[in-house]
């Protein structure tokens, strides 16, 4: 249905990119979005959610120098990714897109807004700041999209997000997209006075069957060493997730000392540093890209072979978001978790198919899921039974031959008599004669 109703410039470009049939989420939300209905779209990471809302909404947007479409995202990386997609497809209709994020130069963003883009992609905090200063005009907005809505609707972000949406017209269209369902999405009707249509394609395994989920057992103190060993495997390139920035710094220093080339997506990094780290990793100039959950939101690295959970995430939603960085759009990928024996059950609980979680090992310089059987070390007889092992007898020295060539026993030496062991008082020191009477008188 989507391909039948796709406008000509978009259909032509779709064919030029050699895209096949639309993914389930793209097919399901296309018509409701073109008709102006509010929707909630749930689909696994890597199944084309950005294009799912971009194509139908861009078709409705008019190149008239008025802001009509706003896409809210939780991170700088996701903002740039979405901005690239919307700019690419929006150029088919001469639509202008501006990315507005925190951490960037505010004055430049304000100057750029004077060019009057039809589409803005940004983080809620900076957009709220500019809207309060009346530098961002929201009175003509027709549609607002919340990408990674499960994160944006967390309690700590909800109040500022609602304030921003209230500055837009009350009749605006709303769309919420997420890789997982969560408690945060259940109160959308109460928070935004809307009854959206729900489209949940998370159970569709069409694009996730190629991802293998597994674990490597290692004590906590040995995880860094295990990561070093993984880094020395041929063809290894992985996005490595940790739970804290302190661990991020420690791990990066240790791996670099061991000769492993790594990059970081650090929360304290500026825009240029983060961009450079991501570009270097994408070009293959680094083995590992170390990151936290927030920093990795929206990262899209084509053909990424591995995702490694150095720290186990705190929820299934976080696990799926992390794991979705590999195996995108049906491509092959491996998700590895470094765990203790007690944490294996958490990995199986978080994985999409617990029964298919494998244990991996490093053997012979390769990553394997089966160790070879040990060879029998005992010698075997021709009948297949263990051969008896003979104990060598103690060598007996033979006597030397005499001049006639005959062996003659050596004469037995007589043993010396043993000395008697006596006390000092028992020893015979010789009898002393008593002096005679004459001698005593003298």
Question: Which residue pairs, CB below 8 angstroms and at least 24 apart, start in 360-363?
Answer: 360/214, 360/215, 360/216, 360/336, 361/216, 362/216, 362/226, 362/229, 362/230, 362/233
The string of pLDDT tens digits covering residues 121-166 is 999 999 999 999 999 999 999 999 999 998 899 888 888 899 999 9
Which residues, 6 or more positions from 160, have their beta carbon under 8 angstroms from its beta carbon?
Answer: 124, 125, 128
For residue 277, the model assigns a pLDDT of 87
Paired residues of 273 in beta bridges: none
Which stretch of DSSP H or E encloses residue 38? none
* CATH classification (class only), 2-203: alpha beta
Q: How far is CA 354 from the centre of its chain?
A: 18
Per-residue pLDDT, 109: 95
Integer Cα distance of 238 and 227 in angstroms: 10
Q: Measure the CA–CA gap between 67 and 146, rounded to whole angstroms.
A: 17
Which CATH superfamily, name and number, covers 208-368?
P-loop containing nucleotide triphosphate hydrolases (3.40.50.300)
Task: Report the pLDDT value the prediction gives residue 441, as an integer from 0 to 100.
Answer: 47
What's the chain's length in residues? 442
Q: How far is the C-alpha of 253 from the C-alpha of 274, rounded, in Å?
A: 18
C-alpha to C-alpha distance for 46 and 267, rounded to whole angstroms: 24
pLDDT of residue 409: 54
Sketch the domain layout of the chain as residue ranges: 2-203, 208-368
Residues of the chain with pLDDT under 50: 208, 381-382, 385-387, 389-398, 400-405, 407, 431, 438-442
- Per-residue pLDDT at 214: 94
- pLDDT at position 424, please? 58
Confidence (pLDDT) at 204: 64
Residue 391: the pLDDT is: 47
Q: Assess whether the region 2-203 and the region 208-368 belong to the same CATH fold.
A: yes
Residue spans of beta strands (DSSP E) within 228-344? 238-241, 262-265, 288-291, 306-309, 333-339
Q: Indicate the pTM of the whole model.
A: 0.64
pLDDT in tens, 308-329: 999 998 888 788 888 878 877 6
């Amino acid at each position: 249905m989507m391909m039948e109703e796709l406008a000509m410039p978009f259909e032509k470009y779709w064919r030029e990119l050699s895209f096949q049939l639309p993914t389930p989420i793209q097919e399901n939300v296309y018509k409701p979005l073109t008709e102006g209905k509010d929707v909630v779209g749930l689909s696994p990471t890597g199944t084309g959610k950005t294009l799912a809302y971009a194509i139908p909404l861009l078709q409705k947007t008019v190149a008239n120098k008025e802001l009509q479409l706003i896409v809210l995202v939780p991170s700088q990386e996701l903002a740039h990714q979405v901005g690239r997609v919307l700019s690419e497809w929006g150029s088919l209709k001469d639509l202008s897109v501006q990315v507005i994020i925190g951490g960037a130069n505010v004055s430049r963003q304000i100057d750029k807004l004077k060019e009057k883009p039809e589409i803005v992609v940004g983080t809620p905090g900076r957009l709220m700041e500019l809207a309060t200063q009346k530098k961002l005009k929201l009175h003509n907005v027709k549609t607002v999209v919340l990408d990674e809505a499960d994160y944006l609707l967390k309690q700590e972000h909800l109040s500022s997000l609602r304030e921003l949406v209230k500055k837009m017209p009350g009749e605006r269209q709303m769309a919420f997209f997420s890789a997982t369902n969560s408690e945060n999405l259940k109160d959308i009707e109460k928070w935004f006075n809307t009854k959206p249509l729900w489209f949940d394609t998370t159970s569709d395994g069409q694009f996730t069957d190629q991802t293998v989920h597994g674990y490597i057992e290692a004590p906590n103190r040995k995880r860094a060493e295990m990561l070093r060993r993984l880094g020395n495997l041929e063809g290894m390139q992985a996005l490595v997730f940790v739970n804290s920035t302190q661990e991020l710094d420690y791990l990066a220093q240790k791996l670099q000392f061991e000769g492993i080339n790594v990059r970081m997506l650090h929360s304290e990094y500026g825009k240029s540093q983060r961009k450079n780290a991501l570009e270097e990793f994408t070009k293959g100039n680094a083995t590992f890209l170390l990151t936290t959950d927030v920093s990795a939101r929206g990262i899209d690295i084509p053909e990424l072979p591995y995702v490694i959970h150095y720290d186990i995430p705190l929820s299934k939603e976080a696990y799926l978001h992390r794991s979705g960085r590999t195996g995108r759009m049906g491509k092959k990928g491996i998700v590895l978790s470094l765990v203790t024996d007690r944490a294996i059950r958490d990995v199986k609980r978080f994985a999409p198919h617990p029964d298919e979680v494998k244990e991996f090992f490093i053997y012979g310089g390769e990553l394997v899921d089966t160790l070879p059987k040990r060879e029998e070390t005992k010698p075997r007889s021709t009948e297949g039974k263990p051969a008896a092992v003979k104990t060598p007898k103690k060598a007996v020295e033979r006597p030397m031959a005499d001049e006639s060539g005959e062996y003659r026993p050596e004469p037995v030496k007589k043993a010396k008599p043993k000395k008697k062991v006596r006390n000092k008082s028992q020893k015979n020191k010789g009898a002393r004669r008593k002096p005679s009477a004459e001698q005593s008188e003298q």
